[in-house]
Amino acid sequence: MWTFIHKWGSPKWFYAMSARVQPWCWAAALILIALGTVWGLAFAPADYQQGDSFRIIYVHVPAAFLAQSVFVSMAAASLVFMVWKIKVADMAATVMAPFGAVMTFVALFSGAVWGVPTWGTWWMWDARLTSMLILLFLFLGVIALRGAFTSRDGGSKAASVLAMVGVINIPIIKYSVDWWFTLHQSSTFSVTSRPAMPTEMWLPLLIMVLGFYCFFIALTLMRTRSEILRREINKRWVMDLAKEAR
């Protein structure tokens, strides 16, 4: 088991193995997102109060899930990099940050679009919305910090520290709706109880969430591969690879 994990820490091994996994992830992402979109937008029943505007949930909830999951993955990769000095982990953390920022923005934007007809306002400084905005700034901060150093090693370390400390924001986002009075409703889904939503509504949502996760994995693998090539450009195996391709 440990040797298996250790092998993935080698850029060369990662590059070779991810090439095999990647197409499956892309295929799964494409199928799940296409299925979830059509099902959610066209076939799922409308809500008794919100009508069709509730359908924004099929983008909003997966994006918000992903935004938080990406941050946790990025922090975990940063921890692996800081403790075990595994470079592939740092490369993965590098490529995750922009994707996470985009997902956070999508969650905030779709929420604002939904908020206008539902709440009567597009923004409110409540705990959920504010902590999510902080998450966006954390992502942008990690990206900026990494770029602000002349040495790549310095940038990686600084970005890793910010990512690890920023993880404290994740439980705050998750529990903000329970700890404080917020305009945002509390969670429809929990691990322990049945969702406050009928099956024909949450099944397409589950498919969308899984599709977004597959998309995240596929994109991270793809971008980590290009990051490996960029950083290992002077290594023997990359040169051999380039020769073969020619």
Where do contacts with other proteins occur on this chain (CB under 8 A)? Answer: 45-50, 54, 57, 79, 82-84, 117-121, 124-127, 164-165, 167-168, 172, 179-183, 185-188, 196-198, 200-201
CA distance 47 to 53: 8
Nearest Cα residue to 107 out of 60, 37, 170, 53 = 60
Nearest by Cα to 8 from 95, 77, 98 = 77
Q: Is the dihedral of CA 226, 231, 233, 236 positive or negative?
A: negative
Residue 25 or 138 having the CB closest to other proteins: 138
φ, ψ for residue 163, nearest 5 deg: -65, -40
Asked whether the beta carbons of 204 and 39 are under 8 A apart, the reply is yes
On whether the CB atoms of residues 147 and 155 are closer than 8 A, the answer is yes
Question: Measured from the CB atom, is 10 or 50 closer to other proteins?
Answer: 50
Minimum distance of other proteins from residue 185's CB (angstroms)? 5
**Which of 50, 98, 73 shows the shortest CA–CA distance to 166?**
73
User: Tokens 């092998």 appear where?
Assistant: 7
Structure tokens at 131: 């902590």
Question: Minimum CB separation from other proteins for residue 183, in Å?
Answer: 6
**Shortest distance in whole angstroms from residue 8 CB to other proteins:** 17
CB 128 → other proteins: shortest distance, Å? 9
Nearer to other proteins, 61 or 91 (CB): 61
Q: Which is nearer to other proteins, 113 or 241 (CB)?
A: 113
Distance in Å, CB of 206 to other proteins, minimum: 14
Provide the minimum distance between the beta carbon of 124 and other proteins in the complex, in angstroms, as a whole number.
Answer: 7
Q: CA geometry: angle at 238 spanning 219 and 214, to 5°?
A: 15
In angstroms, the CA 217 to CA 223 distance is: 10
Q: Cβ closer to other proteins: 200 or 240?
A: 200
Pick between residue 97 and residue 205 the one whose CB is nearest to other proteins.
Answer: 205
